[in-house]
C-alpha cells in the first residue's frame, strides 16, 4: 500500500548567511516575521518596509531520507510559490514556474540536502515579459507574466507583498507496482438514480502486473480491470438524496472509496465525498435580452452571492477553521453563492469541503484578472497544466457549479484601450474561448463553463451589456450615485459594491498610536483604491453633510452609506426577478485591514453591510420601489421561499416628528419563488423631506424616504438605554434612524448580533452583545450612533 510521509519538520530558510527556522507550509514573509527580521506589514505603513523581500532569492532546506521498502519514492509538492529549482545534494530534480499546480519528482534511493531555491517572482515575470513582449493591465505590476496569485502584487484593496515559499503541503510517497495517478469522478443523476463514473489513471513502476480497481459509493460496490494505465468504474446508487444549495434543501454527501488492486492486495486508495445534483445555466434569449439563470435540480434560482478574495495575502495562514468561520459568516448572512475571484487562487480542499457542507454554490474563476495575458510559451503550457489539474481536483465537490474563464479581461480588451495597444498580439482570448472550455468539456462535462465576467455571450454585443449575460456595475461608486442602480435591470450582476472603512477596533490595532482621521497617514496607506477617499466623500455629500474633522462621525456615515448603497441595488434587482437572476456583492472578505468594499473586514469583524446582507438575502423581503411615473410607488413583495406567502401589509404615512398622516392595510399573495407588487395608495405616498412611508408585515419592514438625508429635518434623537449580560436595549422616544451599536468600541472582542435599525417613537430593540465583560449603560450609549438633522 502507498505510504505518505509528510515533510513538515526540520526546514530552514537561508537569510544573509543565517539559517532561520521555517514553517512548511508557509512563505518567506511569515518566516521572516516569526524570526523578528521584518515588522508586521499589516501595521501602520510597514508594508513599504518589507518591499525588498519580493525582490530577493530565497532558499529552503531540509534533510531528505527517501529510503523505504518500496520500489519507488516520489517527492510531492502540492504548491510551490512560484519560480523555483528543486535539488538534492546539488542534483537538479526540476524547475517550477506555477503557483497553481502541484509537482512530483522521483527521488527513489536518494538522500541528502533537499533545497528549494526560489528566484524573485519579479525576476521571473520580467524575464517572461522580455520574451513575449509588453501586455497592458489595470496595474503596473507584472502579474500577467507569471502563474501566481495576481493580488500578491497589490490591488485596489490589497497590499503589495510578493510572496515566495512552499505554500502547500509537501510529502514523500513510497509505493510499489502502481499508484493511482488521477481519478475523474463524473457525478450525475439519471432517472432518479445517482450515477458515479470513476475514470481512473494509474502510474506503474517497473514491475508489470495485472491491476484492477474496486469502488464503493452509498453501499454499492463495483469492480473493473485496468487496461494498461486506465480504467472506468460505473456505479448506480438507487434512492439517492439530492444535494441542494442552502435554503432549498439539505446537503447529503456520500463517501466514495476507490482501491487499486494488484499482486494479491491493495496498492493505493482514493477517498472523496460527492453529492448528487444537477446544475445547468439557462442562457435563453427572451424579450429582455439573454438570460443568465442558474438551475439546480430543476429549480431556477435567484443567486444571492458574494465575491471571495484570498482571506489572507499570505494564503498559507488560512486554516480549515478560518475557512469554516468565514464561509459560515456568509451562510449566516443568507448567501447561497460564493464567486472565487480570478485574481486569487484555486482554494484548498478545506474551502470547497465547507461549501459542500454549508450548501454554498461555488462559481470558480480561472486565475486571470484585469490584464492582457500572453498566450505564448512558457505560459500556455502552464495554463493548460494547471487547468487540467484543478478541474479534476475539484470535480468531486457538488458545491462547484460554474467555471468562469476570467475576470474583466474580455471587457478590458473592448473598453480599456487594449485592442489598439496590443496591435494583434495575443492577450488571452485563446484561453477563454478555446483552451479553457475545451479542458472543462474534456475533463468534466458535468460542469457549466462561461468565458468571462462580465460577458454578454458574443462579440456581436458589448461584453458588459446589462441585457445579456453577466454584468459588472462600476459606474456607480466610480462616478455615479447608488440611486443609479435603479436605472437598469441587468440579467445577472456579478460585481457591484461600495467602500467603507473597517471596524474601529480593527483600525486601532492596525494603526497603533495614530490619531485617526479620514486622511491621516495610516488611513491613507490602508486605502488602496484610486481616489478612494474622494469617492467616499462625494458619495457621502450626495446624502449627508460631510462631517469635517469628526472622524467618528465620518466612520459611522461611510459605513451607513455602504449598507444603503448595496441595499439600493439588491432590493431593486431582486424585485425584478426573474429578469434579473442574481447579485454577487463585491466583496465578502478582506485579506488585511483596509478601507474596502468588504462586508467582513480583515480582522473578521462584521461591518453594518454584513448585517444588512442578512436582511437583503433573506427568503422574504419587503421593499419600496418606484415603478416610473405611471405606476409610482409600490411595495415589492419578494418571496424566494418554497411556499406561497400571503398576508396583510400595514402602510403608514408618517411625519419625521412621529405623527401618523394616514394609514391602511392591504392584502397580498406572492407565489413560491415569485415577486408581486402591492400598489401604494396615492394618499399614502409621502411628499417632501418631512414625510416617509412605513410598511410592516410578518416582522418585516420597508421604509421609503422621498428626500435625501441632508434635507430631512430629523428631530434630535432621544432614546433610553439599558443593559444586561449579553444585551443592550434601546427604547426610542423620537424617530431614531439607522441606529448602530459599534460593539467593538465596548471592547475589541465584543460583537453585536445586528447592524442598522430604525425605530419609531415608542419602539424598542434589544441588541445581543457577546464578548463584553463589564456591561454599563453609559459605555453602551457612547457606542451608539444614529442619524441627526444635517449629520
Q: In percent, how much of the chain has pLDDT > 90?
A: 96
> Does 292-618 match 3-173 at the fold level?
no
Task: Write out the DSSP string of 123-147.
Answer: HHHHHHHHHH----BSSSS-GGGSB
Average pLDDT over residues 166-194: 96
Which burial class, exposed, middle or buried, applies to 442 when counting CB atoms under 10 A from its CB (0-12, 13-18, 19+)?
exposed
pLDDT digits (tens, 9 = 90+) for 118-167: 999 999 999 999 999 999 999 999 999 999 999 999 999 999 999 999 99
Q: Write the class of the CATH domain 621-711.
A: mainly beta
Question: Distance between CA 289 and CA 89 in Å, rounded?
Answer: 63
pLDDT digits (tens, 9 = 90+) for 243-259: 999 999 999 999 999 99
Q: Are 730 and 721 in contact (CB under 8 A)?
A: yes
Residue 436 CB neighbours (<10 A): 25
Average pLDDT over residues 45-68: 95
Average pLDDT over residues 73-89: 98
pLDDT digits (tens, 9 = 90+) for 425-449: 999 999 999 999 999 999 999 999 9
Question: Distance between CA 465 and CA 484 in Å, rounded?
Answer: 16
Q: Write the class of the CATH domain 177-274.
A: mainly beta
Question: Which cell goes with 138?
Answer: 489595470
Average pLDDT over residues 203-207: 85
Q: Are 115 and 59 in contact (CB under 8 A)?
A: yes
C-alpha distances (whole Å) from 13 to each of 40, 58, 115, 118 are 18, 7, 10, 11
Q: Return all residues near 629 (Cβ < 8 A) that are at least 6 apart.
A: none
DSSP letter at 681 equals: P
pLDDT at 96: 98
Q: In percent, how much of the chain has pLDDT > 70?
A: 100
Question: Distance between CA 752 and CA 771 in Å, rounded?
Answer: 9
pLDDT tier, 790 (very low <50, low <70, confident <90, very high otherwise): low
pTM of the model: 0.97
pLDDT at 628: 77
Neighbouring C-alpha atoms within 13 Å toward the C-beta of 204? 15
pLDDT at 208: 82
Is the torsion defined by CA of 418, 419, 423, 427 positive or negative? positive
Q: Are 506 and 603 in contact (CB under 8 A)?
A: yes
Q: How would you classify residue 709: left for phi > 0, otherwise alpha for psi between -120 and 50, otherwise beta?
A: alpha
Task: Write out the DSSP string of 514-532.
Answer: ----TTSHHHHHT--STTH
Whether 791 shows a pLDDT value over 80: the answer reads no
Query: How far, in whole angstroms, is CA 718 from its chain's centroid?
Result: 40
Question: Distance between CA 731 and CA 738 in Å, rounded?
Answer: 14
Fold of 3-173: Jelly Rolls (2.60.120)
- Could you tell me whether strands 400-404 and 361-365 are parallel, antiparallel, or unpaired per DSSP bridges? parallel
Q: What is the mean pLDDT of the chain?
A: 96
Q: Return all residues near 462 (Cβ < 8 A) that are at least 6 apart.
A: 414, 456
pLDDT at 203: 97
Tell me the domain boundaries of the chain: 3-173, 177-274, 292-618, 621-711, 719-785
pLDDT at 443: 97
C-alpha distances (whole Å) from 482 to each of 293, 318, 615 are 25, 34, 19
Question: Which cell goes with 615?
Answer: 436582511
**Nearest to 737, CA basis, from 692, 779, 686, 782:** 692
Fold of 292-618: TIM Barrel (3.20.20)
Q: Are 497 and 519 in contact (CB under 8 A)?
A: no
Helix, strand, coil tally for the chain in percent (to 5): 25, 35, 40
Q: Residue 316 phi/psi, 5° resolution? A: -65, -15
pLDDT tier, 193 (very low <50, low <70, confident <90, very high otherwise): very high
Q: How would you classify residue 787: left for phi > 0, otherwise alpha for psi between -120 and 50, otherwise beta?
A: beta
DSSP letter at 618 equals: S
How many helices (H) and strands (E) are present in the chain, helices listed first? 17, 44
Kindly report the three-state secondary structure assignment for every residue of 444-498. Answer: CCCCEEECCECECCCCCCCCCCCCECEEECCHHHHCECHHHHHHCCCCEEEECCC
Amino acid at each position: 500500500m502507498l505510504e505518505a510521509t509528510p515533510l513538515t519538520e526540520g526546514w530552514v530558510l537561508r537569510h544573509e548567511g543565517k539559517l532561520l527556522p521555517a514553517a512548511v507550509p508557509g512563505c518567506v514573509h511569515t518566516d521572516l516575521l516569526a524570526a523578528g527580521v521584518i515588522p508586521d506589514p499589516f501595521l501602520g505603513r510597514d508594508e513599504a518596509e518589507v518591499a525588498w523581500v519580493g525582490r530577493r532569492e530565497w532558499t529552503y532546506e531540509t534533510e531528505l531520507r527517501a529510503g523505504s521498502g518500496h520500489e519507488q519514492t516520489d517527492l510531492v509538492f502540492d504548491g510551490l510559490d512560484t519560480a523555483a529549482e528543486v535539488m538534492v545534494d546539488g542534483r537538479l530534480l526540476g524547475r517550477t514556474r506555477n503557483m497553481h499546480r502541484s509537482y512530483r519528482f522521483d527521488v527513489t534511493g536518494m538522500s541528502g540536502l533537499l533545497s528549494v531555491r526560489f528566484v524573485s517572482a519579479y525576476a521571473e515575470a520580467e524575464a517572461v515579459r522580455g520574451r513575449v513582449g509588453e501586455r497592458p493591465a489595470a496595474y503596473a505590476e507584472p502579474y500577467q507574466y507569471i502563474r501566481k496569485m495576481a493580488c500578491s502584487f497589490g490591488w485596489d484593496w490589497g497590499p503589495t507583498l510578493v510572496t515566495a515559499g512552499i505554500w502547500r503541503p509537501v510529502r514523500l510517497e513510497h509505493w510499489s507496482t502502481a499508484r493511482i495517478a488521477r481519478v475523474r469522478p463524473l457525478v450525475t443523476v439519471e432517472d432518479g438514480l445517482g450515477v458515479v463514473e470513476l475514470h481512473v489513471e494509474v502510474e506503474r513502476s517497473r514491475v508489470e502486473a495485472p491491476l484492477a480497481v474496486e469502488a464503493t459509493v452509498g453501499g454499492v460496490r463495483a469492480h473493473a480491470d485496468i487496461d494498461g494505465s486506465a480504467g472506468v468504474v460505473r456505479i448506480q446508487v438507487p434512492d439517492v438524496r439530492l444535494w441542494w444549495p442552502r435554503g432549498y434543501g439539505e446537503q447529503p454527501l456520500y463517501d466514495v472509496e476507490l482501491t487499486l488492486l494488484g499482486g494479491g492486495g491493495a496498492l493505493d486508495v482514493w477517498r472523496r465525498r460527492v453529492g448528487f445534483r444537477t446544475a445547468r445555466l439557462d442562457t435563453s434569449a427572451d424579450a429582455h435580452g439573454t438570460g443568465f439563470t442558474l438551475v439546480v435540480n430543476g429549480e431556477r434560482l435567484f443567486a444571492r452571492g458574494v465575491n471571495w478574495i484570498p482571506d489572507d495575502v499570505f494564503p498559507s495562514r488560512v486554516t480549515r477553521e478560518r475557512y469554516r468561520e468565514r464561509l459560515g459568516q456568509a451562510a449566516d448572512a443568507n448567501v447561497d453563492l460564493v464567486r472565487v475571484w480570478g485574481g486569487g487562487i484555486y482554494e484548498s480542499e478545506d474551502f470547497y469541503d465547507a461549501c459542500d457542507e454549508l450548501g454554498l454554490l461555488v462559481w470558480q474563476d480561472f486565475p486571470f484578472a484585469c490584464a492582457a495575458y500572453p498566450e505564448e510559451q512558457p505560459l500556455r503550457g502552464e495554463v493548460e497544466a494547471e487547468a487540467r489539474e484543478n478541474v479534476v481536483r475539484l470535480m468531486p465537490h457538488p458545491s462547484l457549479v460554474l467555471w468562469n474563464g476570467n475576470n474583466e479581461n474580455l471587457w478590458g480588451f473592448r473598453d480599456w484601450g487594449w485592442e489598439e495597444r496590443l496591435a494583434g498580439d495575443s492577450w488571452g482570448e485563446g484561453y477563454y474561448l478555446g483552451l479553457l472550455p475545451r479542458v472543462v468539456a474534456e475533463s468534466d462535462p458535468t460542469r457549466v463553463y462561461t468565458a468571462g465576467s462580465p460577458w454578454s455571450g458574443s462579440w456581436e454585443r458589448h461584453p458588459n451589456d446589462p441585457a445579456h449575460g453577466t454584468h459588472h456595475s462600476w459606474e456607480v461608486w466610480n462616478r455615479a450615485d447608488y440611486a443609479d442602480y435603479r436605472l437598469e435591470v441587468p440579467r445577472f450582476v456579478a460585481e457591484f459594491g461600495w467602500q467603507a472603512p473597517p471596524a474601529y477596533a480593527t483600525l486601532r490595532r492596525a494603526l497603533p498610536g495614530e490619531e485617526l482621521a479620514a486622511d491621516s497617514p495610516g488611513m491613507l496607506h490602508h486605502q488602496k483604491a484610486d481616489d478612494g477617499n474622494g469617492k467616499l466623500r462625494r458619495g457621502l455629500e450626495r446624502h449627508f453633510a460631510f462631517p469635517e474633522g469628526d472622524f467618528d462621525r465620518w466612520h459611522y456615515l461611510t459605513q451607513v452609506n455602504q449598507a444603503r448603497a448595496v441595499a439600493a441595488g439588491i432590493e431593486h434587482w431582486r424585485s425584478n426577478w426573474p429578469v434579473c437572476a442574481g447579485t454577487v456583492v463585491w466583496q465578502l472578505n478582506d485579506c488585511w485591514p483596509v478601507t474596502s468594499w468588504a462586508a467582513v473586514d480583515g480582522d473578521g469583524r462584521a461591518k453594518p453591510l454584513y448585517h444588512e446582507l442578512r436582511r437583503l438575502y433573506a427568503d422574504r423581503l419587503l421593499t419600496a420601489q418606484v415603478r416610473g411615473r405611471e405606476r409610482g410607488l409600490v411595495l415589492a413583495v419578494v418571496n424566494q421561499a418554497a411556499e406561497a406567502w400571503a398576508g396583510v401589509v400595514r402602510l403608514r404615512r408618517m411625519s419625521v416628528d412621529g405623527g401618523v398622516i394616514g394609514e391602511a392595510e392591504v392584502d397580498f399573495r406572492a407565489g413560491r419563488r415569485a415577486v408581486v407588487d402591492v400598489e401604494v395608495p396615492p394618499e399614502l405616498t409621502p411628499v417632501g423631506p418631512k414625510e416617509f412611508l412605513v410598511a410592516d408585515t410578518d416582522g418585516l419592514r420597508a421604509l421609503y424616504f422621498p428626500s435625501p438625508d441632508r434635507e430631512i429635518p430629523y428631530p434630535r434623537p432621544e432614546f433610553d438605554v439599558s443593559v444586561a449580560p449579553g444585551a443592550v436595549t434601546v427604547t426610542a422616544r423620537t424617530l431614531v434612524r439607522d441606529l448602530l451599536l459599534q460593539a467593538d468600541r465596548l471592547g475589541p472582542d465584543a460583537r453585536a448580533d445586528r447592524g442598522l435599525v430604525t425605530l419609531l417613537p415608542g419602539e424598542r430593540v434589544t441588541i445581543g452583545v457577546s464578548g463584553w465583560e463589564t456591561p454599563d449603560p453609559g459605555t453602551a450609549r457612547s457606542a451608539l450612533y444614529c442619524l441627526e438633522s444635517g449629520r
